[in-house]
Amino acid sequence: MREILKLKRKWLLLCIPIAIISIILCKNFPFIAEYVYGRVIFRILSIIIGLFTRWIPISIAEIVIYCIPLLLITIIFLFIRKIVKNKGRRGYLTAKGLLNIGCFLSVALILFVLLCGTNYYRYSFEEYLEFEVTEYDKEDLYNLCVYLAENVNKARENITNEYDDGTMRLSYESTRAFLNKAEELMSEFSREYDSLEWSTGAAKPVLASRYMSYTKIVGIYIPFTMEANVNVDTVDYNQPSDAMHELAHLRGVMREDEANYISYLACVTSGEPDFVYSGYMMAYIYASNKLYDEDYELFAEVRSSLSEAVDADLKANSLYWDQFETPVGETISNVSNQVNDAYLNVNGQVDGTKSYGMVVDLLIAEYKSRFE
């Protein structure tokens, strides 16, 4: 035991109480979450990490995930071999091994808290908008859907690059060019908001995007490497808004509804046809899904107003996801959804995965402020 106490790295365990205190402070004092953690600690750490990771063209986090099983097997094998060879020191080696695990987890926890966790308790993005979210009725929802459908149709007319079946095709020469454009557009958009400025992290394609679709996940922000990982196997019209959503996370916006709204705003104000269309489509789908639940007849009325080209894109999206509706796919999807729901609940989003759809509240508030 004395030998264990002499190990210098045991002080890394202090990261655990520091992480807990940080979350408690941010949860109870949003000012601290915004101006101490969000705009200082998170910003400095994220910029430093992003400067190193952005120059690697593939997702570092994805490669690490693939290596974890082999790494764990190797560590366990070496640990067991050391235990077998040192019979007289088994107690010490076991205690040392547990300490190493504890130190690793404590460092991982504090990094997660500083690069992600405290951002859940920052000021709502609504604080920086010129409208306030209030209650709305079915008529408000219907009016929003009509407005979005009209803009979806107009935006689709500006899409000139198509596949042979007439569905939208991204107009960029490569996936890397598309993601670079997404970063450029988000940087331009972020200049309008102090809370979003400064980020060096990169948007990166997931190499195993096809397999990622089995989880029904279209993107994931990895705080440890400051990477906005994007599923680039989905139907093309989805990808710009998905990329912007993850880039919003990269800039410290962790609430899902707010990340969706920022994605929408950044897309429709970008002037880039692919992004404008993607932003309106994302907003229309969330709003129309809600209208479907409230009044199917009104939903059907709005749905029938969509152009043939938009209709073709939506059908292509349905066909894409139908591929993964297998027993294995359903199991993977359900597990993924439960894990994501639990993760969001732990981080203060009590609505869990339903919080993605809460972007409709912001969309309606914006619509009412502009047209009423």
Same domain, residue pair 158 and 72: no
User: Does the residue 278 lie in any domain?
Assistant: yes
pLDDT value at position 133?
Answer: 84
Inter-helix orientation angle 90-115/60-85, to 10°: 160
Domain limits for position 30: 2-121
pLDDT value at position 202?
Answer: 94
Does residue 258 carry a pLDDT above 90? yes
Same domain, residue pair 354 and 303: yes
Q: What is the CA radius of gyration of the chain?
A: 23
Inter-helix orientation angle 256-268/359-371, to 10°: 50
Does residue 3 carry a pLDDT above 60? no
- Is the model more confident about 283 or about 128? 283
| DSSP conformational letter for 169 | -
Mean pLDDT is highest, among 93-107, 132-146, 173-187, for 173-187
Backbone angles phi, psi at 231, to 5 degrees: -75, 110
Average pLDDT over residues 94-99: 82
Reference 39, options 197, 242, 238, 264; nearest CA is: 197
**Among 13-22, 23-32, 344-353, whose mean pLDDT is lowest?**
344-353
Gap between the Cα atoms of 107 and 112, Å rounded: 9
User: Does the residue 205 lie in any domain?
Assistant: yes
pLDDT value at position 6?
Answer: 53
Domain boundary among 88, 103, 121: 121
**Among 44-58, 136-150, 153-167, 336-350, whose mean pLDDT is lowest?**
336-350
- The confidence band for 178, taking pLDDT boundaries of 50, 70 and 90, is very high
- Is the model more confident about 171 or about 5? 171
Does residue 210 carry a pLDDT above 70? yes
User: Does the residue 225 lie in any domain?
Assistant: yes
pLDDT value at position 8?
Answer: 65
Average pLDDT over residues 79-100: 81
- Is the model more confident about 345 or about 116? 116
Same domain, residue pair 344 and 216: yes
Same domain, residue pair 83 and 16: yes
Does residue 189 carry a pLDDT above 70? yes
- Residue % of the chain over a pLDDT of 90: 74
Q: What is the mean pLDDT of the chain?
A: 91
In single-letter form, the type of residue at position 250 comes to L
Q: Is 55 helix (H, G, I), strand (E, B) or coil?
A: coil
C-alpha atoms less than 13 angstroms from C-alpha of 171 in its C-beta half-sphere: 12
By the 8 A CB rule, do 360 and 292 touch?
A: no
- The confidence band for 356, taking pLDDT boundaries of 50, 70 and 90, is low
Average pLDDT over residues 98-119: 93
Same domain, residue pair 73 and 145: no
Reference 287, options 364, 371, 349, 367; nearest CA is: 364
Same domain, residue pair 64 and 107: yes
Q: Which residue blocks in 33-174 are alpha helix, DSSP H?
A: 43-53, 60-85, 90-115, 138-157
Torsion of CA 187, 193, 195, 200, to 10 degrees: 10
pLDDT value at position 354?
Answer: 55
- The confidence band for 340, taking pLDDT boundaries of 50, 70 and 90, is confident
Gap between the Cα atoms of 125 and 71, Å rounded: 40
Same domain, residue pair 104 and 168: no
- The confidence band for 187, taking pLDDT boundaries of 50, 70 and 90, is very high
| Number of other residues whose CB lies within 10 A of the CB of residue 85 | 9
- The confidence band for 193, taking pLDDT boundaries of 50, 70 and 90, is very high
Q: 230 pairs with which residues across the strands?
A: 205, 219
pLDDT value at position 371?
Answer: 78
Reference 356, options 371, 367, 343, 370; nearest CA is: 343
Gap between the Cα atoms of 320 and 211, Å rounded: 13
pLDDT value at position 93?
Answer: 78
Cα dist from 334 to 49, 168, 235, 285, whole Å: 33, 29, 22, 21
In single-letter form, the type of residue at position 318 comes to S
User: Does the residue 126 lie in any domain?
Assistant: no
336, burial (CB in 10 Å: exposed 0-12, middle 13-18, buried 19+) = middle
pLDDT value at position 363?
Answer: 95
Residues in contact with 312: Cβ distance below 8 Å, sequence separation at least 6, in sequence order: 165, 166, 167
User: Does the residue 291 lie in any domain?
Assistant: yes
Does residue 1 carry a pLDDT above 60? no
* Total count of domains within the chain: 2
Average pLDDT over residues 72-98: 83
Domain boundary among 121, 142, 162: 121
- The confidence band for 221, taking pLDDT boundaries of 50, 70 and 90, is very high
Same domain, residue pair 117 and 154: no
Same domain, residue pair 48 and 141: no
Backbone angles phi, psi at 162, to 5 degrees: -135, 160
Same domain, residue pair 108 and 144: no
Does residue 351 carry a pLDDT above 70? no
User: Does the residue 323 lie in any domain?
Assistant: yes
Domain boundary among 58, 89, 121: 121
By the 8 A CB rule, do 228 and 81 touch?
A: no
Same domain, residue pair 219 and 354: yes
Does residue 7 carry a pLDDT above 80? no
Does residue 263 carry a pLDDT above 70? yes
Please give the biggest Cα pair distance in the chain.
80
Same domain, residue pair 153 and 302: yes
Gap between the Cα atoms of 36 and 32, Å rounded: 5
User: Does the residue 349 lie in any domain?
Assistant: yes
User: Does the residue 32 lie in any domain?
Assistant: yes
Does residue 362 carry a pLDDT above 90? yes
By the 8 A CB rule, do 203 and 191 touch?
A: no
Q: Is 309 helix (H, G, I), strand (E, B) or coil?
A: helix
